[in-house]
C-alpha cells in the first residue's frame, strides 16, 4: 500500500446541504423520473388504444365530467403556495414557520386526496367496460398512488416535527418534500388535459 499524503481537510465542509448539493434531492429526482416516465408510457398506451376506436370516448360512453376535476385542479394549484412557503421556511431553518406551514399544507392536501375519489368516478365509465375505461382508470389510479404517497410523506414529516425536535437535516428533507409535490401536481396538468378534457375536443 502506498503511503497516504493528506492534501485537504473535509471537516470545514458543511454537513447539511439543500437542493442539488444534497443526495436526497438527486434520489428524489431519480424516482420522479421513473414515475413521470411511467405516466408518459401509460399516456402513450392510452393514445395508442385510441386508434382502435372510431369514436372517442367509445360509443355509448359519456364524456368525463369536468366539474370535480377542475375544482381539484384549482385546489392543487392553490396548494403549491403553502408548499412553496414551507420550502422557503425550511431553507431559513425556521422551525416555527415550517411547522405552521406544514400544518396548513396538511389541511389543503387532504381534500385533494378525498376529491380524487369522485374524480375517478367523474371519468363516467368503469375500468372493466372498455379498454378506454381501463386506460383512463389506470392513469388516474397510478397518479393517485403518487399523490397518496406524497400526502403520507407530508403528514409523517409534520408529525415528526411535533413529536420531537428534528435534526437540521430534516429541513433539507422538507424542501425535497415540496420539490416532490411540485412534480406530483405538475404531472397532473397534462393528465387532466388528456384524460378529462381530451375526449371533448376529439
Partner 1 sequence: MTPDRADRADGAPLPVVLTLSESELAGDAAALDAAWRDRPGLWGWLTAVDHKSIGRRYIITAFLMFLAGGIEAALMRAQLARPENTLLGPDRYNQIFTTHGTTMMFLFAVPMMTAMGLYFVPLMVGARTVAFPRLNAFGYWTYVVGVVFLYVSLFANTGPDAGWFAYVPLSGPQYSPGHRVDVWAQVVTFTEIAALCAAVNVIVTVFKMRAPGMSLNRIPLFVWAQLVVAFMIVFAMPAVATGSTLMLATDRAVNMHWFNPAEGGDALLWQHMFWFFGHPEVYIIFLPALGMITPIVETFCRRPVFGYTAIVMANITTAFFAFGLWVHHMFATPIPELGESLFTAASMVIAIPTGVQIFCWIATMWLGRARLTVPMLFVLGFIFTFVNGGITGVMLASVAFDKQAHDTFFVVAHLHYVLLGGGVMPLFGAFYFWFPKVTGRILNATLGKVHFWLFLIGVNVTFFPMHILGLEGMPRRVYTYLAPTGWGPLNLVASIGAVTIALSVLVFLINAIRSWTHGEPAGENPWDSSGLEWAVPSPPPSYNFLHSPVVRSRHPLWDTDVELPVVTGLRTDRKEVLITSTFDAMPDSRHSSPEPSIWPAYLALCMGVVFIGSIFSPYYVLGGLGLSMIGLFGWGWQSSKRIESELVAVPNGAMVERA
Binding site for partner 1 (CB under 8 A): 1-23, 26-27, 30-31, 33-34, 37-38, 41-42, 45, 48-49, 52-53, 58, 91-93, 127-135, 137-138, 142, 152, 156-157, 160, 164-171, 173, 175
Query: Closest approach of Cβ 74 to partner 1, in Å?
Result: 28
Residue 73 or 139 with smaller CB distance to partner 1: 139
Query: Closest approach of Cβ 158 to partner 1, in Å?
Result: 11
Scan for cell 369536468, then name that residue.
Answer: 66
Query: Closest approach of Cβ 36 to partner 1, in Å?
Result: 9
At 190, give phi and psi (nearest 5°).
-60, -35
Residue 27 or 111 with smaller CB distance to partner 1: 27
Rounded to whole angstroms, how far apart are CA atoms 12 and 36?
38
Residue 156 or 190 with smaller CB distance to partner 1: 156
Scan for cell 394549484, then name that residue.
Answer: 77
Give the number of other Cβ atoms within 10 Å of residue 21's Cβ: 11
Please report, for residues 44, 51, 69, 157, 160, the alpha-carbon distance to residue 123 in angstroms, rounded to integers and kept in the order given: 18, 19, 9, 33, 37
Query: Closest approach of Cβ 80 to partner 1, in Å?
Result: 18
Whether residue 139 contacts residue 195, with contact meaning beta carbons closer than 8 Å, is answered with yes
Residue 52 or 121 with smaller CB distance to partner 1: 52
Amino acid at each position: 500500500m502506498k503511503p497516504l499524503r493528506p492534501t485537504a481537510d473535509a471537516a470545514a465542509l458543511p454537513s447539511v446541504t439543500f437542493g442539488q448539493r444534497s443526495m436526497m434531492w438527486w434520489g428524489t429526482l431519480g424516482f420522479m423520473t421513473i414515475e413521470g416516465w411511467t405516466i408518459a408510457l401509460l399516456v402513450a398506451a392510452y393514445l395508442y388504444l385510441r386508434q382502435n376506436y372510431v369514436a372517442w370516448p367509445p360509443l355509448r360512453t359519456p364524456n368525463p365530467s369536468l366539474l370535480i376535476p377542475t375544482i381539484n385542479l384549482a385546489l392543487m394549484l392553490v396548494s403549491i403556495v403553502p408548499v412553496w412557503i414551507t420550502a422557503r421556511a425550511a431553507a431559513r431553518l425556521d422551525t416555527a414557520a415550517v411547522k405552521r406551514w406544514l400544518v396548513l399544507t396538511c389541511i389543503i392536501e387532504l381534500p385533494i386526496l378525498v376529491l380524487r375519489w369522485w374524480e375517478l368516478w367523474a371519468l363516467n365509465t368503469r375500468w372493466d367496460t372498455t379498454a378506454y375505461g381501463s386506460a383512463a382508470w389506470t392513469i388516474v389510479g397510478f397518479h393517485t398512488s403518487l399523490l397518496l404517497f406524497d400526502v403520507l410523506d407530508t403528514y409523517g414529516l409534520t408529525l415528526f416535527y411535533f413529536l420531537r425536535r428534528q435534526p437540521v437535516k430534516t429541513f433539507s428533507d422538507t424542501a425535497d418534500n415540496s420539490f416532490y409535490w411540485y412534480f406530483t401536481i405538475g404531472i397532473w396538468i397534462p393528465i387532466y388535459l388528456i384524460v378529462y378534457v381530451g375526449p371533448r375536443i376529439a
